[in-house]
């Protein structure tokens, strides 16, 4: 019974560590994407559009 208890504790701690590692890696990926992307340089209309459904940037950064 003691071997079974230690095996289940080992499994629980391994799963907790794997979950924490996955959480840290996912957040590291979000930070990487946030700092590497340039959302202000998205293709958009430069001139004022006459029709509806056509958008343009309020202030062009590119």
Extents of the domains making up the chain:
1-39
Return the structure tokens found at 40: 């202000």
Report how far residue 38's alpha carbon sits from residue 45's, in angstroms, rounded to the nearest whole number: 17
Q: How confident is the model at residue 62 (pLDDT cuts 50, 70, 90)?
A: low
Q: What are phi and psi of 35, to 5 degrees?
A: -85, -20
DSSP secondary structure letters along 33-44: HHHH--TTS---
Cα–Cα separations (whole angstroms), residue 46 to 16, 30, 37, 50: 51, 30, 21, 12
The DSSP output letter for 45 is: B
Instruction: Report the pLDDT value the prediction gives residue 55, as an integer from 0 to 100.
Output: 65
Per-residue pLDDT, 44:
58
Q: Is the entire prediction scored with pTM above 0.75?
A: no
Encode pLDDT of 8-59 as tens digits.
999 999 999 999 999 999 999 999 988 887 666 656 556 665 666 666 666 6
């Amino acid at each position: 019974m003691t071997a079974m208890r230690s095996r289940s504790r080992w499994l629980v701690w391994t799963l907790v560590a794997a979950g924490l590692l996955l959480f840290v890696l996912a957040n590291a990926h979000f930070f990487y994407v946030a700092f590497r992307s340039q959302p202000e340089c998205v293709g958009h209309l430069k001139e004022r559009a006459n029709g509806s459904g056509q958008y343009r940037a309020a202030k062009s950064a590119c």
